[in-house]
Amino acid sequence: MNKLMFNSCNHSMNNGLKVVTIKKETKLASIHVGLKVGAMFEDKHEKGVSHLIEHMLFKGTKSRNNERLNEELEFLGGDYNAYTDYTCTVYGVTALEEELEKSVELLSDMLINSTFTKEELEKEKNVIVAEIRANNDDIEDYSFKKAHEAAFNVSALKNDVAGTEESVLSISREMLLNFYNKYYCPNNCVITVVSSLDHEEVIDILSKYLSKWEEKHIDEKKFIKEKNNSLLKTSYKNDMEQSTITYLFTFNELPKSMELPLKILNLKLGESSNSILFRELRENRGLAYDIYTFLDMSKNVKTLYIYTAVSEENIEETMNAINKCIDGIKNKKILFNTTTVNLMKKVHKTAVVSTLEDSTDLGNYVLHQCLEDENIYEFIQDMHRLENLQGSHIYDVANVVLNDPTIHILKPI
């Protein structure tokens, strides 16, 4: 397992900014900036503000207007992007290594010196409204959104990360600035850099542009961890050819020791190319073109999903098939024998190694481990745990997690 170790160094600046540098044989430099703020941090009147701020950081700074900033980002010649989820906001650049300092300069300018002009704010609010409408036109996105609305009563997971059209349009510049000033500070930020440069050289570059970023006091946010409602709900939508079925499970109290078996269960249930659900619904019954599971183990989220799209007349049979697969695992009728478990171990190890080999994926993985205060070498511990993993551990976690789902059905009108 020592071969999987990478050359990393942790550093904390005087202003509280946490940095992890990773030295790797590569011609690229990948930098990720993560803020510990997302949709779960928003109050009722602020829905969508985290996502709006993410957009606005690309709209101009004190020294660069919108056009110049984006031209310079484009001129890096690599990939730059950002995303917001429930627990964090992330900005990233992957480019040739000689562009590392310029990437740091641009990202630091965006983080510290964005101007949030009224003109750009009003334009971007309309852009996000268009994004929300586009997401509602995406049947898959819309199905997950409706499943969340049905699953939760008070949890922030009930709300879409982008907010609603009404909430976004109601966000004032003052509201946006208050939220930005509250959470955008170095002691609420983690940066990872993957490159072939020495650790000290990378720290010198980061210090040059970020050491004067001012630390602030941040009040701890308390989150509501809500178990999903166990129910079946049907919604309707125009312009659909097929119906969708979404299962949502929560596992807020799952012991840490059961997380690895859950990852392996997820692989075999619906994430691998030869999954239980895929074989049953597509290969055996011809009900669906595709079916998959998705596992979110983020702190304060903890959700597992099953999703598929089928013809309306096949909804009942499809749900019976899904339930049969779940019950078959829980009742040990579906075997997790030595061969099956060993294959899933190999699939998991392959995914880990693939992440370590890719500079961007590695930087993103380390970033999220740090944002959640987890060990960046947790995957090494998982590899050791895998050696002792047995089918009984998978049956145990299935019986803990795969209970009382929220089931949402979306049908065409």
Sequence ranges of the domains in the chain: 2-210, 231-412
CATH class, 2-210 region: alpha beta
Q: Report yes or no: 24 and 136 within 8 Å, Cβ to Cβ.
A: no
Torsion of Cα atoms, 99 then 103 then 109 then 110, to 10°: 150
Q: What is the pLDDT of residues 116-127, one digit of tens each?
A: 999 999 999 999
Token digits of residue 192? 């990872």
**What is the 8-class DSSP label of residue 197?**
S
Task: Look at the chain and count its residues.
Answer: 413
Does 231-412 match 2-210 at the fold level?
Answer: yes
Q: Report yes or no: 298 and 84 within 8 Å, Cβ to Cβ.
A: no
pLDDT tens for each residue of the chain, 413 residues long: 456 678 999 999 999 999 999 999 999 999 999 999 999 999 989 999 999 999 999 999 999 999 999 999 999 999 999 999 999 999 999 999 999 999 999 999 999 999 999 999 999 999 999 999 999 999 999 999 999 999 999 999 999 999 999 999 999 999 999 999 999 999 999 999 999 999 999 999 999 999 999 999 998 888 999 999 999 999 999 989 999 999 999 999 999 999 999 999 999 999 877 899 999 999 999 999 999 999 999 989 999 999 999 999 999 999 999 999 999 999 999 988 888 888 888 888 888 889 999 999 999 999 999 999 999 988 888 888 888 889 999 999 999 999 999 999 999 99
Q: Global pTM?
A: 0.92
Q: Report yes or no: 161 and 86 within 8 Å, Cβ to Cβ.
A: yes
CATH superfamily, region 231-412:
Metalloenzyme, LuxS/M16 peptidase-like (3.30.830.10)
Residue 138 CA: distances (Å) to CA of 8, 132, 189, 225: 40, 10, 32, 28
The residue behind tokens 């079946």 is: 232
The residue behind tokens 């003052």 is: 174
Q: What is the pLDDT of residues 192-221, one digit of tens each?
A: 999 999 999 999 999 999 999 999 999 888
> CA 242 to CA 108: how far, in whole Å?
46
> CA 26 to CA 212: how far, in whole Å?
30
> CA 27 to CA 359: how far, in whole Å?
10
Long-range contacts of 378-383 (CB under 8 A, 24+ apart): 379/4, 379/352, 379/355, 380/1, 380/4, 380/5, 382/260, 382/263, 382/348, 382/352, 383/1, 383/4, 383/349, 383/352
Which sign does the torsion angle of CA 52, 58, 63, 66 carry? negative
Element (H, E) at 93: strand 89-96
